[in-house]
Structure 1
Amino acid sequence: MAVKLFLVEDEALVCELLAEFLGELEEIEFLGDARDGATAIEKCRKLRPDLIILDLRIPEVSGLDVLKVLHMELPETKVIIFTGSLSEEMLRTTLENGAIAYVEKAYGLEELQKAITSAIAGNRYFSPSIARLIEDYDF
């Protein structure tokens, strides 16, 4: 059975590339995308995805606030943070609110695919710079 995946990304080109990439993964049923936080919450409530790829810097409602709402309302849904933003505070907040993986966009699609595979298996995943940050601090 395919994993139902939803994408939250505000940059049109990145969104289109990710949608094409995700559509090629056999284990994924791509449900669609949202370009802002308010739409993301509304669509996720309706579609109830198994997995969400979430950018943190999105308009209307921030990615962190989207994560907090979805973690409360859809606790079984796994969330991969896929963003260009990295800070200790952001990382801590995402982990406290149920994110299963955190990947910096600079690492690209191969790293995102590793995170997807890991998340589907129920395991946490962090891109290399984030893994180092976690080792350096008590998370």
Structure 2
Amino acid sequence: MKTIGIIEDQTAIREMISQAVLDPNEFEVIFGTGDGQEGYEKCIEMKPDFVILDVMLPKLNGTDILRRFSKELPETRVLIFSGYQSPGLVRELLQAGAHGFVEKSAPLTELRKGVEIVSSGGSYFGPEVALLLRDAMADPQTSDTGISILTKREREILQLIAESNSTREIAQKLEISVKTAENHRTNLMRKLDLHDVASLTRYAINKGLISIGD
């Protein structure tokens, strides 16, 4: 039996996946959480065989979780299940190590198919994502992965800024000095050519780091 972790910020969706998608004879859900940082830590601790991962998550987004997995949990299979998709995001998630991507607008049969194929070692993309992937590969210039120029710390700070944390709160959460947090904030603003919180927040939403309701 394969062990599985579900990192999804909507409780109802986590329960739906557990009860209506996963075959209890094939999968054992060893944890479910809506917090990106907690989900990452549980994965490191429990080492599930398979993870269903949302992109927009509080504290640590799905793309950064994937990047960490590629180094720390290379054998864990990951299926993205998200309502946000764009050609650039799909490409970035693949580069970060995703093995499949099913959009939340797809029927449950698509998610079941994705779970079966990805957990067994294959790759799978829902119909909408497959079209986006084709577009991204056909025209690399359409990519919107400008966020890749940011360092890991700058991406963390961008997400925290967009989640309405002050510089002092960011410093406390990341256990760095206020001065260091300010320096990172200045660097990411310079790199993105965005110079106010509203612009950074819109950018984070467009990149799938946070949702409008966060």
Task: State yes or no: 1:59 paired with 2:58.
Answer: yes
Which has the higher mean CA deviation after the structures are superposed, 16-25 or 4-13? 16-25
SS at match of 1:137: helix
Tell which deviates more after alignment, 113-122 or 73-82. Answer: 113-122
Please give the alpha-carbon distance, in whole angstroms, between the structure 2 residues aligned to 1:106 and 1:23: 18
3-state SS, counterpart of residue 99 of structure 1: coil
How many pairs are equivalent? 138
Rounded to whole Å, the distance in 1 between the matches of 2:74 and 2:22 is: 25
Residue 29 of structure 2: aligned partner: 30
Matches within 5 A, 1:9-20: 9-20=8-19
1:3 aligns with 2:2: yes
**SS in structure 1 opposite 2:48?**
coil
Structure 1: unaligned runs, 5 residues or longer: none
Aligned to 2:117: 118
Q: Which residue pairs with 2:84 in the alignment?
A: 85
Please give the per-residue CA displacement for 1:11-58, whole angstroms capped at 9, x wherever unaligned.
Answer: 121122222225544211111211111101110011101110000011
Higher strand proportion: 1
Please identify, of 19-28 and 37-46, the stretch whose mean Cα deviation from structure 2 is larger: 19-28
SS in 2 for 1:16: helix
For residues 103-127 of structure 1, give each alpha carbon's deviation from its aligned partner in whole angstroms, at most 9, with x where no partner exists. Answer: 0011032111100111122111000
1:40 to 2:39 alignment? yes
Match in the other structure for 1:74: 73
Letter in 2 for 1:68: R
Deviation at residue 69 of structure 1 after TM alignment:
1.1
Find the aligned partners of 1:30 and 1:42 in 2 and give their Cα distance.
Answer: 16
Q: Distance in 1 between matches of 2:57 and 2:134?
A: 28
Give the structure 2 partner of residue 106 of structure 1.
105
Are 2:51 and 2:77, in contact at CA under 8 Å, matched by a contact in 1?
A: yes
Q: 2:36·2:60 contact (CA, 8 Å) conserved in 1?
A: yes
Q: Retained in 2: the 8 A contact 1:22–1:28?
A: no
Distance 1:16 1:137 in 2: 33
What TM-score do the two structures reach when normalised by structure 2? 0.61
- Percent identity between matched residues is 34
Assess if the C-alpha contact under 8 Å between 2:106 and 2:126 holds in 1.
yes
3-state DSSP of counterpart to 1:106? coil
Q: Which has the higher helix share?
A: 2
| Cα distance in 2 for residues equivalent to 1:137 and 1:44 | 30
Larger Rg computed on CA atoms:
2
Runs of 4+ in structure 1 off by over 6 angstroms are none
Q: Which moved more, 1:7-16 or 1:44-53?
A: 7-16
